[in-house]
Structure 1
Amino acid sequence: MAGRKFRRQHGIGQYIVDFYCPAERLVVELDGAGHFTASGEANDAERTSCLNTLGLRVLRFENLLVLEQLDGFLAGIEAAFRVKMNT
């Protein structure tokens, strides 16, 4: 991931996010079927809004995308990086 480090199942406030990259202040969430209901979408919107108020950006991906199009999933994350790190 272009030298970035990610933490898995990282606690931020009242939430535990799937992945967090401190250098980018980027949260990556993987959403399964429970997220695609009216209540799931409302909960996700509230969660994203709360994380945004902390200065974090949130990317959401469907679980199936990770399994079926891993390269596209990873490219989507890298495209969200703000700065190039020196390696």
Structure 2
Amino acid sequence: MAITQQKRLEQARRLRHSQTPAEERLWSGLRGRRLQSHKFTRQYPIGPFTVDFLCREARLIIEVDGATHSEDHEIDYDERRTAYLRSQGYRILRVMNDDVYRRFDDVMDMILLALEHKLPEAR
């Protein structure tokens, strides 16, 4: 059964209110054009998926991954999701929860490099 656009928006709103601590930390550095004036949105629906963070102008998605992305079925889901999002013209940068906590400045620098198309392939 297809999910309506209204239900996708409601789901995104719920996700915004139940962010993980790592997502909250990263959002603190991205919100309000804090990263060199780049505008980001969070928990944004794209097709059948909701992405963690999106810079529309750069068509860059940032996904914050934790331990729940290590099982075979989770990896398969992420690969299908990534293939769909790339087919829609987006680049995806994945960062780990631990990196957001322990190497926040490095994560922000990596996002800047991705925004400037200076990473070989944003993954």
Answer whether TM exceeds 0.5 for this pair.
Answer: yes
Q: Identity of aligned pairs, percent?
A: 36
Provide, for residues 38-63 of structure 1, a one-character-per-residue CA deviation record: whole Å limited to 9, x for no partner. Answer: 11111111101000000000011111
Cα distance in structure 1, aligned partners of 2:115 and 2:95 = 16
Answering whether residue 69 of structure 2 is matched by residue 38 of structure 1, we say no
Cα distance in structure 1, aligned partners of 2:70 and 2:107 = 19
Q: Which has the higher contact order (CA 8 A, sep 6+)?
A: 1
Alpha-carbon distance, 1:3 to partner: 1.1
Structure 1 gaps, min length 5:
none
Cα distance in structure 2, aligned partners of 1:37 and 1:77 = 26
TM-score (norm 2): 0.65
Q: Segments of 4+ in structure 1 off by > 2 A?
A: none
Q: Which of the two has greater helix per residue? A: 2
RMSD over aligned Cα atoms: 1.1
TM-score (norm 1): 0.90
Partner of 1:66: 100
* Count of equivalent residues: 83
Answering whether residue 60 of structure 2 is matched by residue 26 of structure 1, we say yes
